[in-house]
Structure formats: structure tokens, C-alpha cells
Amino acid sequence: MKETSTLFRRTAIDPIQFQTALDLLRDARRVVALTGAGSSTPSGIPDFRSNDTGLWSKVDPFTVASVWGFRENPQRFYNWMRPLAGDILAARPNAAHQALERLERCGKLHLIITQNIDALHQKAGSQSVIELHGNLRTVSCPTCAFADDAALYLDAFIDDGVLPICPQCNAVLKPDIVLFGDPLPEKAIVQAQEEALMCDLMLVAGSSLEVMPAADLPALAVRSGARLILVNLGLTPYDHLADVILRGDVEKVLPKLADALENS
């Protein structure tokens, strides 16, 4: 309990809750993690919903980051996207990503479901990742369905502001990320729901659990008999379902969980 008490002094986490989380992780046979923007903000990627610093505090998301906004004015979308894309492509995994990779490597984490588009879990070495909201690795043409490696277009866009143009029909290419009004990738959401049904423990890290249908995955897991651990700085609509709530920074809490599990 000495290590747990030290963490309690540094992050104000209840040591009993921390120990309960460790016990649940040790006993679980199939652990699935769900991560949100809070797992990537320590890497320098802004989140979307914080009152003062979130991306939606500065612009109307339905104007700049919706499928309708993209169709109406792709230049406006890319003007908004340019600094964010630069931040994402320059970002490196932080201690939270590395902790989840360690849990996967030691056999305690079956799979990660992420709402993030930054691929930082993969950069950290995680092998099993479901990307619910797409990624910046590929681009597609909304007119003729041409698809290609995003790096061939986004690097020039970030450096010089050159819009990515489809070589087949001259329409503006769209990154393969989910905008407002876009359906989630069918394969990804179906697989995520199946994993929520099959897991016996879900670990939610850095997600406000406000965006559907991803936010309903913890409830789906609990209804199927799984236990639930929430690691987040703020409240979520699903706190009442959690077996354990660790109210702290994922970059500090997850490494401590990984340390304790590796040393147990």
C-alpha cells in the first residue's frame, strides 16, 4: 500500500479506489480500454470540449467540421484543420499511451478502442486498436471514391496550404476522419460493440463520454456483466455505473497502474 499512498499524496486519488482498480485489473480475463481526447492532450493535441481551450470554444463545429460544412466550403474546413493536423502529425506518445502498450505487452489488456484520430496508440506500439473516428493516414474523394496515402497530400497542405486535390476528378480530397454528420466506420463500430459485449472489464481513460455511439460502449459492457473503471479529470454521464473512479490525469494514473501490475 506504500506505493498507492504515495500516488494518493501526489494526485489526490483515493488509495482505496486505486487498490480496488488494481484488484479488478489483476482478476480480469479480458480487459478493453476506451480512450478519448484526454489521453492525447499531454502530447500537445488540444481537446474539443474544454470550456476555454477546447477547439469548439473557438469555432462552430457544425460550420467547420461537419460533412455539410466540408461540402459547402472545403477551404474553410482545411483552414481550420491545418494547425490541428500539424499538431497531430508532430505529436509523440505520452506516458498514458505507453502505459496502455505495457499493459497489452504483459497480457493484461486485450484491445484499445479510441475516439482519437492521432494514431498515438499505434506509435506507442499498441497492436490492437480500433479507431472509431477514423485517422489521418488516408484521404478519400467524396465524389469519385479515389483513395490514397494522406502523407502524399497533407504534408504539402501543412507546409504550404495547398489543398489536396483528387487526381481523377479534381474534387477536394477529404481526410478519412469522422466529421459531424458522417457515419462511423461500420466495421469499427460493430467490432467495438462486440468487444464491449465480450469484455469482463472496461477501462475508460481520458474520455468525457459525451459523444455517441462511442459513449454508450461502457454502458453496453456493464449491461453484459463487465466491471468498469473510469480514469478522468472530470465528471462523466456514466460515473454512476463505474465500480471505480480515479479522478486524475491519465498521464500519471495509467503508468502507476501499469507499474503496479507489472510488479505484482
What CATH number corresponds to the domain at position 187? 3.40.50.1220
Q: 207 and 77 in one domain?
A: no
Q: 170 and 193 in one domain?
A: no
Q: 204 and 114 in one domain?
A: yes
> Which letter does DSSP use for residue 237 in this model?
T
Q: 153 and 169 in one domain?
A: yes
Question: Is residue 97 annotated as a catalytic residue, yes or no?
Answer: no
C-alpha cell of 246? 480515479
**Which listed residue (97, 110, 133, 240) is catalytic?**
133
| CATH code, domain carrying 170 | 3.30.1600.10
Provide the residue range defining the domain that includes 194. Answer: 1-44+93-133+183-264
Q: 233 and 142 in one domain?
A: no
Task: Decide: 92 and 123 in contact? Cβ < 8 Å.
Answer: yes
Q: Tell me what pLDDT residue 12 has.
A: 63
Q: Tell me what pLDDT residue 55 has.
A: 52
Q: 234 and 191 in one domain?
A: yes
Global pTM value: 0.87
* Cα 154 to Cα 105: distance, rounded to the nearest angstrom: 32
* Cα 69 to Cα 220: distance, rounded to the nearest angstrom: 32
Task: Decide which of 123, 148, 177 is a domain's last residue.
Answer: 177
Q: 72 and 6 in one domain?
A: no
Q: 112 and 37 in one domain?
A: yes
Q: 248 and 210 in one domain?
A: yes
What does DSSP say about strands 147-149 and 134-140: parallel, antiparallel, or unpaired? Answer: antiparallel
**Domains held by the chain: number:** 2
Q: 241 and 199 in one domain?
A: yes
Q: 127 and 144 in one domain?
A: no
Which pLDDT tens digits describe the chain residue by residue (264 residues)?
Answer: 344 444 444 456 788 999 999 999 999 999 999 999 999 999 988 765 544 544 544 656 667 778 898 899 999 889 888 888 888 888 999 999 999 999 999 999 999 999 999 999 999 999 999 999 999 999 999 999 899 999 888 888 888 888 899 999 999 999 999 998 888 889 999 999 999 999 999 999 999 888 888 889 999 999 999 999 999 988 889 999 999 999 999 999 999 999 999 887
